[in-house]
Amino acid sequence: MLTTLRRIVLEFSQEPELNNALTRMVTQVKEAMLTDCCSVYLADYTKEHFLLLASDGLAKNSLGNTAIGFSEGLVGLVGQREEPLNIPDAHQHPHFKYSPEVEEDELRAFLGTPIIHQRKVIGIISIQQREARSFNENEEAFLVTLSAQLATSFADVEARSDLQQASNSQWSKPIAGIPGSSGVAIGEIIVKQPSVDLRKLSLKKAYSKNIQITRLSSAVSSTKSDFERMGSQLGNLISDNSLDIFEMYKQMLESPQLIDEIESNIQSGWNAESALKLVIDSYVLQFEALEDPYLRERATDVRDLGNRILMHLQAELGKTEQLPEQFILLAEDVTASMLAEYQNQGLIAVVSVSGSNNSHAAILARALGLPAVMGIEAVALDLLDHKDAIVDGYSGEIFVTPNENLTREYLHLIDEEKALTAKVRKVADLPAVTLDNQSIELLINAGLTSGFDNSVHSSSSGIGLYRTEIPFMNRSCFPSEQEQTVWYKEVLKAFPDKPVTMRTLDVGGDKSLPYFPIVEENPFLGWRGIRITLDHPEIFLLQVRAMIRAHQVSNNVEIMLPMIASISEVDEALRLIDQAYFELKAELSETLTKPKVGIMIEVPSAIFLMAELAQRVDFFSVGSNDLTQYLLAVDRNNARVANLYDAYHPAVLRALNSIAEQSKNSNTSLSLCGELASEPAGALLLLAMGYNKLSMNPHHLAKVKWVIRHVEFSKVQSVLKHALSLMSPQEVKSYLNEQLELFGLGSFVRAGL
């Protein structure tokens, strides 16, 4: 039976047209179960009925014409109960509804089960038989298993079928994705398929090793020139560190390790393309295994780099193409280099089938002010090519061939957006102070390079989170103390009079370095963060010494310890920091000051130890993204449960409020790094709770400042009190949107928020 199930599901998922897929499936199920009839009904929530779409056993004329209300008949009862219904004689059941057009007079036994996708009944599958009997356990188990396995494929095929039948006058159902960059755009979709793809490349041998190395050298040189050109072009438009990706690309191309590994494969007999594929694939696998979502997205960047080199190897660049004056870019995997190529050719929005809001495509889109939706539902790209669409970067939705009313609504929204953007820019360099003089510091998150511009200096109060692990990942071994000192000095010089909070090396578990592999059964709860650096003090001491050396010059370093779960971890880390400090004090003749030391609160256990921790450290910094994941036990990058991840969950808000209250009681400085800080409603709640500092991506600073400067702290405190009493994320967000409207900040409220 398992083989039969797999075959039915596989064939169903491979058929692009819904009616054909259903017709074949009901016949296969009827034959496999040796029954007299198999039928499938599709739920229509606008009309509140189940529509008979396919059947092998019922009258053909009834297909597409017979509808059963959600509260009618046995089919409706299955949908209401959301569980299988096994009835020996359907005609005797009180819920039986007689529909003469389906011609089921001779069919007695009935077994129906719901098809449920993401907690929603999307259809009913039933089998019937002339003999009045109860279907046995094996038959019921087969149908239940089939419906469960069909659910995702059923939803995908239905979505594809909807697209095929869509017309300009009737399509309004959105394609759902992940908000990648806020904003709205209306235009024509242009689908871009990669001209080359390392993943599809077949490995080949070559005997002319010198020729292959020469080809590789030329391709690498051309690729480096590409990235220099892209960085230069975008540098005229972007003023923050979003362009770090192109610097990272150049660093990788200049890295002896990468080129040596490729050339080593060439020496082993592979041609240049194959040698490149072997190395890039190995790096991609390492990044894809990482837990940190920001770092895991770097797999896309590495693949993008490899494909760019491959394009030069295969001379696929320079081909001309016709593009509309304005267009929406849609690709299986939108990359940073794709954005750089098209941003000056009429690009108005970005849609990517894969990726998340941590991808560099999303980061660059935000910096460029382009709406972006990432990780959309699985749809055939060819069906979307050259179709008009609305991209809603707030809700993460795409409306294909929208009707006039919907288009008119979004055109009005676009006009509002333009006015709002111009308005918030006016406060970019002003302090974040409420109308009744309550202030809060706004800082930025950083990590790839030390490149910061003057606008970032003036608008932020410093760096609230500097990720030190990125440079560690672009090497073949651990960096020396001298190398790290140079890195950190560059960052500190960019903010000479402002604090820079550097997080100590946050790797381990499935976030392993290429030269320090770690294999674990459950890396999400494994050897990572402070756990690994305490187990390897030689790594920790070198990094802390480098931070203290850099601090000696600018006197603005704050050291932050990640993944703290116990007091003993802090005590041991502080002992090592003291050791590094006194060692350097003995070595250096100049006066040496010790940086402030704080911890990240991202493991729930730390919330219950804050009184003791406050006696040991100088500040707390909440990592709200990870804390939310751990509190709710939800992997926000897992599509099946990502909808359960919500920073406005009452448990999360109450935990954040408890942290703020405990920090206030111990008189300990408190900051927060995470997406919640960059959202207007979230920033106001955190302000009311008592957070001293909020750290976010630079492009959110002006927006958050505007909101803070246009509210009264006393009123925001009242909003917080009521928000903490609510029972669900939906209630919280609805209430907060209402309050933003009352504050006169309705332009910051968008559909789907």
Show which residues are catalytic. 360, 673
Asked whether 180 and 362 are in contact (CB, 8 A), the reply is: yes
Give the residue among 677, 247, 639 at the shortest CA–CA distance from 449: 247
Torsion angle of alpha carbons 489, 493, 494, 497, nearest 10°?
130
Strand partners, 372: 181, 350
Radius of gyration for the chain, computed over Cα atoms and rounded to the nearest angstrom: 29
> From residue 367, how far is each of 370, 672, 730 by CA, in Å?
8, 22, 29
In the block, which residue shows the tokens 């529509």?
51
Sequence-distant (6+) residues with CB within 8 A of 141 are: none
Measured CA to CA, the distance from residue 692 to residue 688 in angstroms comes to 10
Give the whole-angstrom CA distance, residue 694 versus residue 608. Answer: 22
Instruction: Beginning with the edge strand found earlier in the chain, give each strand of the sheet holding 397-400 in spatial order.
Output: 175-176, 397-400, 388-392, 184-191, 327-331, 347-352, 372-374, 178-181
Q: Which residues pair with 42 in a beta bridge?
A: 51, 123
Q: Which helix (H) or strand (E) holds 40?
A: strand 37-44
Supply 344's token pair: 């000056």
Element containing residue 69 per DSSP (H, E): strand 67-69
Give the whole-angstrom CA distance, residue 309 versus residue 327.
27
Partners of 502 in beta bridges: 466, 559
Identify the three-state secondary structure at position 184: strand
3-state SS, residue 373: strand
360: left (phi over 0), alpha (psi -120 to 50) or beta: alpha
What is the rounded distance in angstroms from the CA atom of residue 258 to the CA atom of residue 256? 6
C-alpha distances in Å from residue 594, one per residue of 485, 543, 544, 552, 561: 15, 14, 11, 9, 15
Q: Are 635 and 291 in contact (CB under 8 A)?
A: no
Residue 545 to residue 106: CA distance in whole angstroms? 85
Distance CA 200, CA 690 (A): 53
Q: Which of 156, 143, 105 is nearest to 28 (CA)?
A: 143
Residue 310 buriedness (CB in 10 A; 0-12 / 13-18 / 19+): buried
Backbone φ, ψ for residue 607 (5° rounding): -60, -30
State which H helix or E strand residue 408 sits in: helix 404-424
The 10 Å Cβ neighbour count of residue 268 is 12
